[in-house]
Structure 1
Amino acid sequence: MANMAFPNRSGHASVGHSLLDGQRAALWGWGREGKATHRALRSAPVAGGGIRYPGELTLFCNAQEAEDARALGDPLLRIEAEVDGERLSAFDMVIKSPGISPYSPMARAAQASGTRFVGATQLWFAERRDADTLCVTGTKGKSTTTAMLAHLLRAAGKRTALVGNIGAPLMELIDGQADVWAIELSSYQTRDVADSGVRPHLAIVTNIYPEHLDWHGGEDRYVADKLALVTEGKPHVAVLNAADPILARMQLPDSEVVWFNHADGWHMQGEVIHRGDEAIFDTSTLPLPGAHNRGNLCAVLAALEAIGFDAAAFAPHAATFQPLPNRLQALGERDGILYVNDSISTTPHATLAALDLYRDRPVAVLVGGHDRGLDWHDFAEAMRSCAPHAIVTMGQNGPRIHALLEPIAAAGGFTLSQARDLEDAMRIGRDAIQGNGVMLLSPGAPSFGPYRDYVARGRHFAELAGFDPGKISAIQGMGIS
């Protein structure tokens, strides 16, 4: 078993000092992470010091969440169902949930008055300076990459935490013990790591495409926030995708940079993973749909090698990895139609990758959802040469996508339809492929509006297709094992 090449931590501050010491603090948001943060603040201190906050704490949440919070019976929890800049300005520090943007007008107003906004991820890193952390981010592929990384580390005999944006908030495991922490970070969380003052031991960035522009306030800020993990977080090792044009230009003088998808390192040649000129592993039988997922495996192998493992020896363990739900998930066939759940697809680039996987079969693809202002022109141009059999638009941005595709569809090559909702879209899709082909839910847009999140959208798709949604939603290996 390899000795992991993690840096010496002698320079880390001792456990016992908390970011919350002497601060008048509030919580903003009461989702799973907000609840986990509250439990951590009210729990016993970690290792004789740390995060406990025993005094009065204000929670900002909506009216429905307020009822749930009151049921806890915390006598020092003050609950407010309305929030604005003035209320937030009364606090030294506001611990916000990931979905709340620090660029909102009310947050900006409070910041101007001196209020500091932090995420639970920042608190965790500041408190758990003892942890050996491997962080993963990217616009697409970060969940699968993180889960594969944890899977191979466990195959190597390491007690591994699979946590973060993938579904297990770090704060739920504030006192957890693991040899190594595989942490997925969204663009809402990457700056938290940079602001914690704790350098991750390794960070993987899979790719960069425009996304979440409403939260970040624009593409430039999205890219800057996403890359803050490596530009400002200064990991000891940065594992970057050489095939991504934004990442390929990066220079990180404070980190050792390891490239994947590069001819000198871990990369694909056809279906075979190579390390430089050496063929290592045939991936043709792996349960990983799409070429992009095999590229993600290259990232994992590059990371394992960077921390001291014989990555080539552990590559075959990828054969026992279980693909994650809602990510090009083949649910099964009904009446000659293969139903594929790619509900996590929230960018047009992700939809194009999904279509490439099924380019040899008749496909009805269902696109559209919450409108975040993403540009669909590249997708439309691609439809001139590689369109599926049918495209069905739906959701808030469905009419905008439909209008963009109309002149291309009019020139021939695919049918284009508009749907009222997901059920209507599936009916139209079935009629289009007539019992022979693939029904592909790859919306290229978030689910907000009719659904709580992409998981709920994927579950509804499965239910409408005749499959048990409860059997297709679980991510194996979450937490520490």
Structure 2
Amino acid sequence: MLEELKNKKVLILGFGREGMDNFLFLRKLFPKKVLGIADKSEEIKKPDKNVRLYLGKNYLKAIRDYDVVLKSPGIPFKILPRTVLGKITTQTEIFFENCPGKIVGITGTKGKSTTTSLIYKILKRGGIKAHLVGNIGKPVSNLLFSATPNDVYIYELSSHQLYNLKKSPHIAVFLNIYQEHLDYYRNFNEYVRAKANITRYQNENDYLVYNSQDKIVREIAKKSKAKKIPIPANYEFLIHPVRKSSISNGAGIRIPLVGKFNLKNIMAAVAVGKIFGLPSLKIAKTIENFKPLPHRLEYIGTYKGIKFYNDSLSTIPETTIAALDGLGNNVETIFLGGFDRGISFKNLAKRILKSKIKNLILFPTTGEGIWREIVSLKRKNKFRAFLVQNMKDAVKLAYQYTRKGKICLLSCASTSFSIFRDYKEKGNLFKKYVKKFAKG
């Protein structure tokens, strides 16, 4: 495939982190080749003289003039003309087609980053030549220049990266699937089909580690030709290790991650470690020493007697419900709301009504929608509800109304784009003001 690019006109579509990596990769292969770069931003400068730029609102028009279009994940397929889809490729596709090493691919609507990071740590501790790549690791294109058959690539795979793959990883980990990214795909079925590519092209020599309690994942797994390892059902020797004995020679281990959903992530990582034949004790020690990733049910600390948790990556109701299940009845204040993508909040409203929560701090625009859903289920309810426009006011209210010994949880069940740049900005502002007002 790489040799084929030599005599073809190539356009890099999208020039963010991955687009820049694609450019450096192609430039290393073809130092003098004229390349096209198309991006909706008008601020991009030519990286060298052998580049043609197509910028601004009409950036997609250039696609028809090129033989190969190397697309970045952030650009939805649905905005591209169907007539050009056959010429689209991606960094992920190029890597899968040319990588001589083994690939462990991890996908799921939620839990990918935690599971990917834990698998990487387990394999590294076990002496495997592992590399963390994809969304939370290094961009992969330039790694092809040094890849060997002994390398193992732990690859976090979003639906965007899986969409047009024609090859699946040697070991696939499929955690869950919920309604998400409906602003990116034409419909939910298209999203499911993209996710299914993680196992669609596996054969009898490959492995599929999958969540057997997720109905859609279970149905996809039925069609897979790979060796199947379900979690947690029928895999009891993995359930007990993380709580008790066999993995750590009877000593029991401390689990640094909160919530039942994280137990499934841990079990998936353990399963991969076992596929590689790693000793149970090394796996156990890695789990014990694992540091939870930022913005994923992250314990910030206890200030003025209140425990604060940052779950700013929660962008769907299911993950907020899971956070409430994990933290239990001590959650007294919760931050909710964000960008409206047309998702139903009915189940979340039911879960909140069953909880011991007293204070709802609501961001626009879905914060109001969640409140209306709660009121429609129970007009006379126990809650104080506050609509806020910024994180500073939100945290002030949390300190004012949350009692000592209770929990304040940021888990918005919505994407951040209504008033925040992204989940990182939202989570970092939460941490900033929690610590700032603790001093007052």
Cα separation, 2, equivalents of 1:244 and 1:462:
33
Match of 1:88 among 44, 63, 69: 63
Q: Which amino acid aligns with 1:135?
A: G
Q: Which amino acid aligns with 1:421?
A: N
**Residue 48 of structure 1 corresponds to which residue in structure 2?**
none
**Residue 213 of structure 2 corresponds to which residue in structure 1?**
243
Match of 1:125 among 85, 92, 96: 96
How far is 1:357 from its partner? 2.2
Match of 1:427 among 389, 396, 401: 396
- 3-state secondary structure, aligned to 1:216: coil
**Residue 156 of structure 2 corresponds to which residue in structure 1?**
184
The 8 Å contact of residues 387 and 413 in structure 1, kept in 2 or not, is answered as no
Instruction: Decide which structure has greater helix share.
Output: 2
Q: Which amino acid aligns with 2:413?
A: G
Q: Which amino acid aligns with 2:106?
A: V
In the alignment, structure 2 segments of 5+ residues that lack a partner are none
- 3-state secondary structure, aligned to 1:455: helix
**Residue 472 of structure 1 corresponds to which residue in structure 2?**
none
**Residue 38 of structure 1 corresponds to which residue in structure 2?**
23
Cα separation, 1, equivalents of 2:92 and 2:118:
21
Question: 1:198-235 deviations in whole A, cap 9, x for unaligned?
Answer: x4110000111111111012211111111221124558
**Residue 25 of structure 1 corresponds to which residue in structure 2?**
10
Cα separation, 2, equivalents of 1:19 and 1:363:
60
In the alignment, structure 1 segments of 5+ residues that lack a partner are 1-15, 46-51, 469-481
How far is 1:447 from its partner? 1.8
Match of 1:97 among 54, 72, 94: 72
Cα separation, 2, equivalents of 1:446 and 1:294:
25
Query: What is the number of residues matched between the two proteins?
Result: 432
**Residue 227 of structure 1 corresponds to which residue in structure 2?**
196
Match of 1:78 among 46, 52, 57: 52
The 8 Å contact of residues 394 and 420 in structure 1, kept in 2 or not, is answered as yes
How far is 1:266 from its partner? 4.7
How far is 1:267 from its partner? 4.5
**Residue 336 of structure 1 corresponds to which residue in structure 2?**
305
Match of 2:424 among 455, 469, 480: 455
**Residue 157 of structure 1 corresponds to which residue in structure 2?**
127
**Residue 5 of structure 1 corresponds to which residue in structure 2?**
none
**1:211/1:114 Cα in 2 relative to 1: closer, same or farther (>3 Å)?**
closer
The 8 Å contact of residues 92 and 115 in structure 1, kept in 2 or not, is answered as no
Greater shift, 390-399 or 205-214, is seen at 390-399
- 3-state secondary structure, aligned to 1:213: coil
| TM-score, length of structure 2 as denominator length | 0.89
**Residue 284 of structure 2 corresponds to which residue in structure 1?**
315
**Residue 353 of structure 1 corresponds to which residue in structure 2?**
322
Cα separation, 2, equivalents of 1:184 and 1:114:
24
Aligned-residue sequence identity (percent) comes to 27
Higher relative contact order (CA 8 A, sep 6+): 1
1:239-278 matches, within 5 Å, as: 239-249=209-219, 250-268=221-239, 272=243
**1:84/1:32 Cα in 2 relative to 1: closer, same or farther (>3 Å)?**
closer
Greater shift, 337-346 or 385-394, is seen at 385-394
**Residue 8 of structure 1 corresponds to which residue in structure 2?**
none
**1:420/1:408 Cα in 2 relative to 1: closer, same or farther (>3 Å)?**
farther
- 3-state secondary structure, aligned to 2:340: coil
**1:253/1:325 Cα in 2 relative to 1: closer, same or farther (>3 Å)?**
closer
Greater shift, 181-190 or 331-340, is seen at 331-340
How far is 1:362 from its partner? 3.8
The 8 Å contact of residues 253 and 284 in structure 2, kept in 1 or not, is answered as no
CA RMSD in angstroms, aligned pairs only: 2.7
Cα separation, 1, equivalents of 2:84 and 2:129:
44
**Residue 478 of structure 1 corresponds to which residue in structure 2?**
none
1:274-313 matches, within 5 Å, as: 285-311=254-280
How far is 1:452 from its partner? 3.2
Match of 1:443 among 412, 426, 430: 412
- 3-state secondary structure, aligned to 2:222: coil
Cα separation, 2, equivalents of 1:467 and 1:118:
47
How far is 1:53 from its partner? 6.9
How far is 1:398 from its partner? 2.2
**1:339/1:208 Cα in 2 relative to 1: closer, same or farther (>3 Å)?**
same
Cα separation, 1, equivalents of 2:251 and 2:261:
15
Cα separation, 2, equivalents of 1:456 and 1:172:
29
Greater shift, 214-223 or 426-435, is seen at 426-435
Cα separation, 2, equivalents of 1:76 and 1:365:
53
How far is 1:415 from its partner? 2.8
